[in-house]
């Protein structure tokens, strides 16, 4: 199965991608991992990406596409993959189609995780991270620490990352609406999109997603 996962920041895409990939026995290919792997292995594309990032510039689509192509050609991706974070705009989606067509392949489905905008803001802006260990994560509504502002695990101070502020979240959503959302229409035209609600418990969303993908495949 070749699947693309789409959804706004805060939809729990990474978590769902990991569970779905495991259930479907296909690799989870995330843009974040691609960048980290290429940069740490100092591949040509990794060096190129790093030069843009170090200069504070966006990495051009060709570089991201190149990394995705290399990854999709690995033996473990022969029977499918789940893409997370790629494509993130229509031009990347077109490049992906071209790439697959050359190999005589096509996508089987595009899973669209839907979350109301206010819920996204609530989820992200409510996050509180421990200053001593960033893996200690709390939420002012969903996962309250016993004492406000104090980490239950180690007693460290909890704070809100700048990336998680409401202003930043609204800006990230704006980028999602203008850049990424158009790929949903692009794929709808190919009859590939299944939309599910990303509200509720993680395992409930996974179940919903599996049913939607299998019903559609
Ligand atoms: Zn802590």
Q: Architecture of 2-115+180-213 per CATH?
A: 3-Layer(aba) Sandwich (3.40)
pTM reported for the whole predicted model: 0.86
Residues, CB within 5 angstroms of ligand 1 (ion): 130, 132-133, 136, 151, 153-154, 156
| 65-114 tens-digit pLDDT | 999 999 999 999 998 999 999 999 999 999 999 999 998 999 999 999 99
What pLDDT score does 103 carry?
Answer: 87
Model pLDDT, residue 214: 86
C-alpha to C-alpha distance for 175 and 34, rounded to whole angstroms: 21
| Strand arrangement of the beta sheet that strand 137-139 belongs to | 137-139, 127-130, 158-159
DSSP 8-class letter at 74 = S
Residues in binding site for ATP: 10-15, 127, 137-138, 200
Output the CA 82–ligand 1 centroid distance in Å.
33
Note if the bond before 56 is cis, omega within 30 degrees.
no
> Out of 22, 106, 132, 161, which one is annotated catalytic?
161
Residues near 201 by Cβ (< 8 Å), separated by ≥ 6? none
d(CA 104, CA 123): 41
DSSP notation for 35-71? HHHHHHTT-HHHHHHHHHHHTT-PPPHHHHHHHHHHH
pLDDT band, very low/low/confident/very high, at 217 (cuts 50, 70, 90): very low
Please write the tens of the pLDDT for every residue from 143-182. 999 999 999 999 999 999 988 999 999 999 999 999 999 9
User: How many angstroms separate the alpha carbon of residue 131 from the centre of ligand 1?
Assistant: 7
Instruction: Parse the chain into domains and list their residue ranges.
Output: 2-115+180-213
């Amino acid at each position: 199965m070749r699947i693309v996962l789409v959804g706004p920041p805060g939809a729990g895409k990474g978590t769902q991608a990991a569970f779905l990939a495991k259930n479907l026995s296909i690799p989870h290919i995330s843009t974040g991992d691609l960048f980290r792997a290429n940069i740490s292995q100092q591949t040509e594309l990794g060096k190129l990406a790093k030069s843009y990032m170090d200069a504070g510039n966006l990495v051009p689509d060709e570089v991201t596409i190149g990394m995705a192509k290399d990854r999709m050609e690995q033996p473990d991706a022969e029977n499918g993959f789940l893409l997370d974070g790629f494509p993130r705009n229509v031009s990347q989606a077109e490049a992906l189609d071209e790439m697959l067509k050359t190999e005589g392949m096509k996508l089987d489905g595009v899973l669209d995780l839907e979350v109301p905008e206010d819920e996204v803001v609530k989820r992200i802006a409510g996050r509180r991270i421990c200053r001593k260990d960033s893996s200690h994560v709390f939420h002012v509504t969903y996962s309250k620490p016993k004492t406000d502002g104090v980490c239950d695990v180690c007693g460290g101070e909890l704070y809100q990352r700048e990336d998680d502020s409401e202003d930043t979240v609204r800006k990230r959503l704006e980028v999602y609406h203008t850049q990424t959302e158009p790929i949903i229409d692009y794929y709808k035209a190919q009859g590939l999109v299944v939309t599910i609600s990303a509200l509720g418990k993680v395992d409930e969303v996974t179940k919903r997603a599996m049913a939607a993908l299998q019903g559609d495949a």
